[in-house]
Structure 1
Amino acid sequence: MSGRKVSPNLALDHLVAQRRAAGESIVHLGFGESRLPVFPPLVEQLVAGARRNGYGPVAGDLAVRESVAGYFARRGLPTDAEQIVVAPGSKPLLMALQAVVPGDTVIPCPAWNTYAPQAELAGKTVIRVPIPEDCGGVPDPAALRASIHTARASGHDPRLVVLTLPDNPTGTLAPAATVREICAIAEAEDLLIISDEIYRDLMHDPTQTVLSPAEVVPHRTVVLTGLSKNLALGGWRVGVARFPAGAWGTDIRERVTSYASEVWSTLAGPMQQVAEYSFAEPPELIAHLAASARLHGALARAVHRIVVGAGAKCRAPQAGFYLYPDFEPMREKLAERGITDSTSLQHHLLEELGVAVLDGRHLGDDPQALRFRIATSMLYGQTEEEQWEALRSSDPLRLRHVAELLTRIEESFAKLIP
């Protein structure tokens, strides 16, 4: 850990909070927290579980694991409760997998800023592979195969590949054909796939389906998800993993539970109560999720129009609440302001225009590129009342508190180009 700093997205969020407390007005587009109020039935479940103060099984009580198994079964993945482990967030599960599965790790470039540090903490070499032109969250298949062979020729041992379906930071979903191609490579090269599907339930188009690699190569795919994004429960820390059936999957699960027993023991009892209810997906929760996905989509599309209007290239958002604009077309004009890379671009937006974004360098991108991540999930309101109003509105873009922020973002990006 020597020389390591706090995760850059968390550090940025802390900086923005400090500066706002000091009286500065900052539009926060730099932190991927789903800033929505807690759905009341979840509070009821938390209270109902408050007396659950025993440790319980490391993997989680049978009832919560059966509920999670049902969740996966409804998504085309027949699952036994013995394939499930629950934990205080998906982050610890990711770390556990990096720690117990041998070999080096392949990740897309750009990718969520935690994948690479966790692999490095586990003593692995990180192999970054560019994403395809049309989407993020997965490595370009042709480049993936070439990178694996190059890494092995250099003495490395790539054995894990991380996919994000749908993606953070681009807000897009890899097409089914691309997923199948990556699965074929994983099969040929004997890779374990870690499929991070924490944004799966936030597709903007409810008719668009997600193909999990666990549907294609179930024997070599671990699926991760949680409640931080879909139900805005980041601070409650609820994550789950689905392991493959069969000997290999059982071995990995046992290694993860062994790791968990020495690190976090088990998911807190009250949170298991919340998870059991949530993964059972009662009708009222499904309706709340649908409203959340509609709101995320409306704001992401609105900000997408703004950045494209300012001259950036940007993939259209499909899920979650992220955008990944590329201001390369405006490089010459930005250079007139001394903006020549992603760091100077982030700095100018924050210091001169009062807009916080996350520098693409922190996501493994080329530091000289003019790319950054935008999170639109902090635009729904400063109070629970405003957030509920946004959730319930048929046209949240017309709400005064939302429209004012969008106007400020548009004006800021208009000022970015001389």
Structure 2
Amino acid sequence: MTGHGVSPNLALNQLVDERRANGESIVHLGFGEARLPVFAPLAERLASGAGRNAYGPVAGGLDVRRAVAGYFERRRLPTDPGHIVVAPGSKPLLMALQLAVPGDVLLPRPCWNTYAPQARLAGKRVYGVPVPGACGGVPGPAALRETIRDARRSGGDPRVIVLTLPDNPTGTLAPPSLVREICDIAEEEDLLIVSDEIYRDVVHDPSTPFLSPAETAPLRTVVTSGLSKSLALGGWRIGVARFPGGPRGEQIRDTVVSIASEVWSTLAGPMQEVAAYAFSEPPELRGHLAACARLHGAVARAVHTIMVDAGATCRPPTGAFYVYPDFEPLRAQLGRHGVRDSLSFQRHLLDRFGIAVLAGHLLDDDEKALRFKAATSMLYGSTPEQQTLALGSDDPVRLPHVAAQLSRIREAFSSLG
């Protein structure tokens, strides 16, 4: 077990809500929600699917599995609908995979705060591997080899590696050459790759090369995805998984379906109606996705500039909607305010400036480091009207309501010393 309490990002979101209810003004950068209105055709599909009130197949109806298979085929991954499972969010699919696949787990460090607790809930040991300097979401290859050797010497049994493309928390995308190198190690060491690609459609520049591990290591990669991030449907809970072919992939898929039958039964019928439409990617949806990616990129780059100007080192964001600055260069100045580690840094920013971030140690980073995750997708506006205006703007960072938030962030970080 991982101890008691709510997942830290959800706990922070609840804390912010409580403090705002008490009248505090807080800039919320601590929760990875794509804060945008529902795209109207998705709401129409939800309404039209209201009559789908039967349970249906555990893995999902054939219509939605065909749509998801087509989605992957358009991304150079020929897929049989029988290799698709849909679920109420990708999080339960990731948990089911931990239960279905034996062996300990290798994770990039830092990483999304749910991977390690899920593995431990499944009775596994977790081995964090530092990410390269250029990007997050994948472990450094040399460090990965060393970690595997050390784990086995100490009685561990690492058999699963989780990758995130693009990455939460660093907002970066590992290049194809690095993905291939990790896949080569997975082949040599007989590791199952779980590739979390829920941010795949939130790559800021559509010309950026994207290589899924499933292209390089097709028989040992499970891909998970969903609609929470790309289409801002976190509350609707729509997740998908693509399983590899061959006996091993079929066995993993069958075990996940067995677990699903005892845990969530099936994805709700109206949500399957939404998913069948969304994963078929009609032209109007593709245009909406492109607009979302442009917005996410513009605001993430603006926050990145603020952090670097304030003295942090920070990887330039290329995907998702996060930045992950390191304020080690300001350690002496911050120390005068009692900031010694990521927890005290998080508290300092919230209590002194009213800025909520997620401390790096909550993402399995070094607790002594002065790093945190900032979710830039929370800056698009407090109303659907403001968010829609940001989505349609050619220069969203200059909109008064977005610029005001950025200005407040800039003022806070420029006065850290």
**TM-score normalised according to structure 1 size:** 0.99
1:392 equivalent to 2:392? Answer yes
Residue equivalent to 2:414: 414
8 Å Cα contact 2:83-2:243 kept in structure 1: yes
Shift of 1:3: 3.3
Is the partner of 1:413 in helix, strand or coil? helix
Residue equivalent to 1:217: 217
Residue equivalent to 1:260: 260
What per-residue deviation string (whole Å, max 9, x for no partner) do you get for residues 5-45 of structure 1?
Answer: 10000000000001001100000000000000000000000
Shift of 1:361: 0.4
Matches within 5 A, 1:237-386: 237-386=237-386
Is the partner of 1:181 in helix, strand or coil? helix
Residue equivalent to 2:199: 199
Q: Distance in 1 between matches of 2:386 and 2:53?
A: 35
Residue equivalent to 1:4: 4
Q: Distance in 1 between matches of 2:394 and 2:260?
A: 44
Q: Distance in 2 between matches of 1:253 and 1:148?
A: 26
> Which amino acid counterpart does residue 145 of structure 1 have in structure 2?
R
> Which amino acid counterpart does residue 416 of structure 2 have in structure 1?
L
Shift of 1:2: 7.6
Matches within 5 A, 1:185-196: 185-196=185-196
Q: Distance in 2 between matches of 1:333 and 1:382?
A: 33
CA RMSD of aligned residues (A): 0.7
What per-residue deviation string (whole Å, max 9, x for no partner) do you get for residues 267-308 of structure 1?
Answer: 000000000000000000000000000000000000000000
Residue equivalent to 2:50: 50
Residue equivalent to 2:105: 105
Is the partner of 1:416 in helix, strand or coil? coil
Runs of 4+ in 1 over 2 A off after TM superposition: none
Is the partner of 1:139 in helix, strand or coil? coil
Q: Distance in 2 between matches of 1:395 and 1:108?
A: 34
Q: Distance in 2 between matches of 1:144 and 1:336?
A: 37
8 Å Cα contact 2:315-2:325 kept in structure 1: yes
Distance of aligned partners of 1:243 and 1:39 in 2 relative to their CA distance in 1, 3 Å threshold: same
Q: Distance in 1 between matches of 2:235 and 2:18?
A: 19
Q: Distance in 2 between matches of 1:36 and 1:93?
A: 25
What per-residue deviation string (whole Å, max 9, x for no partner) do you get for residues 137-165 of structure 1?
Answer: 00001110110011011001000000000
Q: Identical aligned pairs, as a percentage?
A: 68
> Which amino acid counterpart does residue 114 of structure 1 have in structure 2?
T
> Which amino acid counterpart does residue 389 of structure 1 have in structure 2?
L
8 Å Cα contact 2:333-2:416 kept in structure 1: no
Q: Distance in 1 between matches of 2:225 and 2:2?
A: 30
Is the partner of 2:129 in helix, strand or coil? strand
Is the partner of 1:378 in helix, strand or coil? helix
Residue equivalent to 2:39: 39
Matches within 5 A, 1:131-170: 131-170=131-170
Shift of 1:72: 0.1
> Which amino acid counterpart does residue 316 of structure 2 have in structure 1?
A
Is the partner of 1:96 in helix, strand or coil? helix
Shift of 1:100: 1.0
Q: Distance in 2 between matches of 1:237 and 1:279?
A: 15
Is the partner of 1:182 in helix, strand or coil? helix
Shift of 1:337: 1.2
> Which amino acid counterpart does residue 252 of structure 2 have in structure 1?
I
Q: Distance in 1 between matches of 2:140 and 2:69?
A: 31
Distance of aligned partners of 1:293 and 1:2 in 2 relative to their CA distance in 1, 3 Å threshold: closer
> Which amino acid counterpart does residue 237 of structure 2 have in structure 1?
R
Shift of 1:336: 1.2
> Which amino acid counterpart does residue 161 of structure 1 have in structure 2?
I
> Which amino acid counterpart does residue 211 of structure 1 have in structure 2?
L
* Gap regions ≥5 residues in structure 1: none
> Which amino acid counterpart does residue 184 of structure 1 have in structure 2?
D
Shift of 1:222: 0.1
Residue equivalent to 2:180: 180
Q: Distance in 1 between matches of 2:187 and 2:119?
A: 22
**TM-score normalised according to structure 2 size:** 0.99
8 Å Cα contact 2:159-2:190 kept in structure 1: yes
> Which amino acid counterpart does residue 80 of structure 1 have in structure 2?
D
Q: Distance in 2 between matches of 1:33 and 1:191?
A: 31
Shift of 1:229: 0.0
Shift of 1:338: 1.2
What per-residue deviation string (whole Å, max 9, x for no partner) do you get for residues 51-70 of structure 1?
Answer: 10000000000010000000
What per-residue deviation string (whole Å, max 9, x for no partner) do you get for residues 200-257 of structure 1?
Answer: 0011111112100000000000000000000000000000000001111000000000
Aligned length: 417
What per-residue deviation string (whole Å, max 9, x for no partner) do you get for residues 99-142 of structure 1?
Answer: 11000000000000000000000000001000011000000011
What per-residue deviation string (whole Å, max 9, x for no partner) do you get for residues 342-381 of structure 1?
Answer: 1111000000110000000000000000000000001000
Is the partner of 1:148 in helix, strand or coil? helix
